[in-house]
């Protein structure tokens, strides 16, 4: 099968896709990425896939859980105050699934 296993770490290409999706969401702003890594599939999706895999019945018709990237980054606007964001990016569809902006009261403002 050409698709990566649902628990494989993101490839360089997948990481680049996630990064570009985030950059496209904030045109003209400075983005400081902290981390980009695999966001594991939901438990019920993974159990279905692993059950089929362990039974030896994987084939081209097997539904593979979507590959999502978890992105931690700061958005820096003209105020020069970093705004910390956590987003989930769907790699295949190149879309942002969810974004949470963490209030500055709840994280350190120090960014190296």
CATH architecture for the domain at 12-40+67-106: Roll (3.10)
pLDDT digits (tens, 9 = 90+) for 55-79: 999 888 888 999 999 999 999 988 8
Residue 69: the pLDDT is 98
pLDDT digits (tens, 9 = 90+) for 14-51: 999 999 999 999 999 999 999 999 999 999 999 999 99
Q: Pick the more confident residue, 82 or 46.
A: 46
- CA 82/CA 87 separation, integer angstroms: 15
User: 3-state DSSP call for residue 1?
Assistant: coil
Res 1 pLDDT > 50: no
Q: In the chain, where are the structural domains located?
A: 12-40+67-106
Q: Which of 55-64, 76-85, 103-112 shows the lowest mean pLDDT across its residues? A: 103-112
HEC per residue, 36-100 = EEEECCCHHHHHHHHHHHHCCCCCCCCCCCCCEEEEEEEEECCCCCEEEEEEEEECCCCEEEEEE
**Band of pLDDT at residue 107, cut at 50, 70 and 90:** low
- CA 111/CA 32 separation, integer angstroms: 9
Q: pTM score, two decimals?
A: 0.86
- CA 25/CA 84 separation, integer angstroms: 14
Res 98 pLDDT > 50: yes
Residue 109: the pLDDT is 58
């Amino acid at each position: 099968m050409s698709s990566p296993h649902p628990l494989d770490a993101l490839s360089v290409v997948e990481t680049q896709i996630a990064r570009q999706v985030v950059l496209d969401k904030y045109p003209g702003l400075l983005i400081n990425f902290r981390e980009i890594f695999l966001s594991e599939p939901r438990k019920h999706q993974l159990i279905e896939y692993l059950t089929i895999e362990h039974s030896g019945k994987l084939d081209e018709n097997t539904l593979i859980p979507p590959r999502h990237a978890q992105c931690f980054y700061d958005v820096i606007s003209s105020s020069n105050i970093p705004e910390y964001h956590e987003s989930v990016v769907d790699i295949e569809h190149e879309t942002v699934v969810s974004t949470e902006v963490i209030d500055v009261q709840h994280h350190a403002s120090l960014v190296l």
